[in-house]
Amino acid sequence: MKIEYFHASKHGNGAKVAEEFQRQMAAKGVTVNVHHVKHAKPKEIPPADLYVFGSPGRFGKPIGDMRGFLKKANLPSGVKYAVLVTELAPEPEKAIRIPTSEEELGKCQRVIPVINEMLQEKGLVKVAEGKIFVTGIKGPLEPNWQKEVEAFVAKIPISP
C-alpha cells in the first residue's frame, strides 16, 4: 500500500504530524511519501492507494495554499482520501459565547468541511478525518499529540 501525504504546514506543527504519521505507518509496512503543497505540482500527483491532506486553520478555513492546491489538484475520481488538520484547541470557558465581530466569526471552524467539499466535488471518497490541536496560535502541538496521530492511523484501512 502506498500513501501520498500533502500538507500545508506554515509553522512546522503539521509537518511534525505528517512525519509522525509516516513513522507510525512505516511500522505497519506502509510507505508514506510526504510533500509540502508548495513543493508539489497539483497537476502531477503520483498514483496512490490513499491520499492524506493536512492543513492548518486560517480564519475557520484551510490555509490558502491548501485551498489553491486542492482547487487545481488532478486527482482520480473514486480514489480514497483522509484529512488530518491542525486546529487551535477550543477554550472551554469561551465555548458558549456567541460570536459578534467578523474576527470572532472567523473562528467558526470549517477547516475539515471545506477540504471535504473540495475533494468530494472531484469524486474522492473519504475514509477518515481527524484533528490534532495546537495550544497556541502558532503551536506547540497539544501534549500527547502522538497518541492522537495513533488514533487517526487506526482509522486508516490498510490493504496488503
Least distance in angstroms from the C-beta of 125 to ligand FMN: 25
Residues with Cβ within 8 Å of residue 57, at least 6 apart in sequence = 63, 85, 86, 87, 88, 109, 111
Q: Does 110 bind ligand FMN (CB under 6 A)?
A: no
How many other C-beta atoms can be found within 10 angstroms of the C-beta atom of residue 59? 13
Residue closer to ligand FMN (CB basis): 57 or 130: 57
Q: Does 18 bind ligand FMN (CB under 6 A)?
A: no
For residue 12, what is the DSSP state?
Answer: S
Residues 124-153 that bind ligand FMN (CB under 6 A): 134, 137-139
Least distance in angstroms from the C-beta of 14 to ligand FMN: 3
Q: Does 87 bind ligand FMN (CB under 6 A)?
A: yes
Query: Beta strand 80-88 with 125-134: parallel, antiparallel or unpaired?
Result: parallel
Q: Does 69 bind ligand FMN (CB under 6 A)?
A: no
How far apart CA 11 and CA 14 sit, in angstroms, is 8
Q: Cell 501525504: give the residue.
A: 5
For residue 159, what is the DSSP state?
Answer: P
β-sheet bridge partners, residue 158:
none
Residue closer to ligand FMN (CB basis): 8 or 80: 8
Residues that bind ligand FMN (CB under 6 A): 9-14, 56-60, 86-88, 106-107, 109, 134, 137-139
